[in-house]
Amino acid sequence: MTSLFAQEIRLSKRHEEIVSQRLMLLQQMENKLGDQHTEKASQLQTVETAFKRNLSLLKDIEAAEKSLQTRIHPLPRPEVVSLEARYWASVEEYIPKWEQFLLGRAPYPFAVENQNEAENTIQNEAQR
C-alpha cells in the first residue's frame, strides 16, 4: 500500500510539474503574441509613414516636372496650334484614300495632273 501511496505522490508531483510548465509555456506564448502584435503595429505605422512620404515626393517630382516642361516647352503660338489642327485634319481626310491604295484596293490617291502641278510648284520655288 505504501508503494501505491508513494507512486501516487510521485505522479501528483509530476502532474504539478507538467501543469506548472504548461502555465509557463502559455505565458510565454501570450508574451510572444503580444510582441508580434506590437511589432506588426510598428511595421504598419512605418509602412504608412513611408507611403505618405513617397506620395509627397511623387507630388513634388510631378510639380517640378510640370514646371520644367513649361520652361522648356512654352505653349505654342495660336498660329502654330491652328496650323497643327489643320495638318491633322488633312491627314485624317487622306488616310482612307492612302489606306485603300496601300492595301492594293485602289489606284494611287492623287491624279497625275496633281502630281505635275506639284512638280511645277517645286520647280518654280527652286527658281526663285
DSSP letters for the chain: -HHHHHHHHHHHHHHHHHHHHHHHHHHHHHHHHHHHHHHHHHHHHHHHHHHHHHHHHHHHHHHHHHHHHHHHSPPPPHHHHHHHHHHHHHHHHHHHHHHHHHTTSS--SS-HHHHHHHHHHHHHHHH-
Cell of 50: 513611408
What's the average model confidence in pLDDT over 51-71?
A: 93
Cell of 109: 490617291
Give domain limits for the chain. 1-74, 76-127
Q: How confident is the model at residue 56 (pLDDT cuts 50, 70, 90)?
A: very high
Q: Quick: pLDDT tens for 66-96.
A: 888 888 877 788 999 999 999 999 999 888 8
Amino acid at 127: Q
pLDDT of 14 higher than 90: yes
pTM to 2 decimal places: 0.41
Alpha-carbon distance values, 84 to 51, 77, 81, 93, 118 (Å):
42, 11, 5, 14, 22
